[in-house]
Amino acid sequence: MKNKRSGGIVAALCAVSMAAGIFCSFGFAKAEAPAGIVKGCKSAYLMDFDSGECIYKLNERERMPIASVCKVMTLNLCFDAVEAGKVSLDDEVQISANASGMGGSQVYLECGYSYPLSELVKSIVVCSANDSCVAVAEKISGSEEQFVAEMNRKAEVLGLSDTLFSNCTGLPKETQYSCAADVAAMFAELLRHDEYFAFSKIWLEDFAHGNGKTISMTNTNKLIRRYNGCDGGKTGYTGEAGFCLASTAVRDNMRLVSAVLGGDTSENRFASASSMFDYGFANYKNRIVLDKTVALNEEFSVRGGKKGRYAVLPEENCYIFGKKDEEPDITFEVCDDNVKAPVAKGQKVGTIQVYRDGVLVKSVNVVSAEDVRRASYADRIREVADGWDM
């Protein structure tokens, strides 16, 4: 049975925060912002990556085509398959006639040739290659049709209620749509794959074909060079969808995720995303309330160990997102799992529940900061003897 502590441990945790140079004063984000941030775009959405809280929204649930931003979900399924061990980025992918025959943005894959999966993924991220999308879909699922079915299942799992895919490229097709809020959510999911960032920051690179030919790829996301902190994004354009963009930027421990759809010009989509980021970074902040390098002031007890108490740490940093000028009440509740010795350094031994204005916002594991060996028979005899001496 877990032992819950809240009174004294709250003060201890606040002391830990103060020792780390941080303060318990944070606010709920409000989806309110001055008019004029977004220009020339039909819908938009800005959110904090860590908490998922909305900062700005404009027609965020309006269903519309998203063109090549559809490839965000294609990439999600690809990295899911890599992490599950279904495929490896080192795998060779043989190109079908179906894949090599795709139109629109492409790297002109040669039918019958094989390419490393990593190179195909790179071409999707950097230059939105439709032929690579289909080749990846066929590699992972056997056919584009089956892959699209998996895309829609993934959308359902993520709770994307205003999204439906009909292909893996975003090329115009009936019954295919999404919305700004869903695009931001699926892009945030992609950002949880660390491998993505190995490709997303490439600006200019050649794509090599097996026959000796090369094609120069330039990143379609101009914010990589234009906006301080931008390290990822996916563009899209068709006459039907207009100019679309999902993008992200990070500064001072805060990552923001944005989506703009239906832009009237390419420049307006980039300018609108930049303006949303500017607003978010100027008015919101992620402050740390638990520092994984700072031990809690109160130690945990252990049964059957060479020592009766041991130091503990949060397993990870915990940030609270909110407006810079708001000061909500931050409280903590610590649950000690009351483990028996031996205890290994880094072992989970409890949890910390973090509350903002009485609402649970995060649960963080507590881990041991040290090894605690099991007490020997001689140790127990000495403990009994010490008790008699008292």
pLDDT of the residue at 174: 87
| Dist. CA 252–CA 255, nearest whole Å | 8
Report which of 369, 372, 287, 299 is spatially closest to residue 334, judged by C-alpha positions: 299
Convert the pLDDT of each residue in 145-171 to its tens digit. 999 999 999 999 999 999 999 999 999
Given 42, 71, 122, 285, the catalytic residue: 71
> Active site includes 247?
no
pLDDT of the residue at 19: 34
Dihedral through CA 62, CA 68, CA 70, CA 73, nearest 10?
-140
Lowest average pLDDT, out of 86-100, 286-300, 365-379, goes to: 365-379
Model confidence band, residue 388 (pLDDT cutoffs 50, 70, 90): low
For tokens 């040669």, name the residue: 110
Distant-in-sequence, close-in-space partners of 162: CB < 8 Å, separation ≥ 6: 61, 63, 177, 178, 179, 181, 182
Given 68, 166, 272, 368, the catalytic residue: 68
Task: Specify the pTM.
Answer: 0.85
Kindly list the structural domains of the chain, giving each domain's residue range(s) and its CATH number in brackets, ordered by start. 3-22+291-389 (2.60.410.10), 43-286 (3.40.710.10)
- CA distances 8 to 14, 113, 265, 270, 362, Å, are 10, 66, 57, 50, 20
Given 43, 123, 128, 274, the catalytic residue: 128
Locate 99 and state its tokens: 């894949």
What's the chain's average pLDDT? 89
> Active site includes 51?
no
| Dist. CA 218–CA 214, nearest whole Å | 13
**Residue 388 CB: number of other CB atoms within 10 A?**
6
40-44, 305-309, 326-330: range with highest mean pLDDT = 40-44
Convert the pLDDT of each residue in 77-125 to its tens digit. 999 999 999 999 999 999 999 999 998 999 999 999 999 999 999 999 9
Query: Is pLDDT above 80 for 8?
Result: no
Query: Is pLDDT above 60 for 7?
Result: no
pLDDT of the residue at 34: 75
Query: Is pLDDT above 60 for 379?
Result: no
When pLDDT is averaged across residues 2-10 and rounded to a whole number, the result is 42
Nearest 5°: CA angle at 282, between 160 and 159?
5
| Dist. CA 384–CA 380, nearest whole Å | 6
Exposure class string for 335-347: b at 16+ Cβ within 10 A, else e: bbbebebebeeeb
> Active site includes 25?
no
Q: Which amino acid is at 178?
A: S
| Dist. CA 189–CA 160, nearest whole Å | 12
